[in-house]
Amino acid sequence: MLPQIKFLGKNIEELKSGRSKRRDREGLKGVAASPGSVTAPACVVHGPEDFAQMKTGDVLVAPITTPAWTPLFARASAIVTDVGGPLSHGSIVAREYGIPAVLGTGTATKRIRDGQVITVNGSNGKVFW
Active-site amino acid positions? 89
How many helices and strands (H and E) does the chain possess? Answer: 4, 10
**What is the CB neighbour count within 10 angstroms for residue 125?**
18
Which element (helix H / strand E) includes 128?
strand 126-128
Note whether 83 and 66 are within 8 A (CB): no
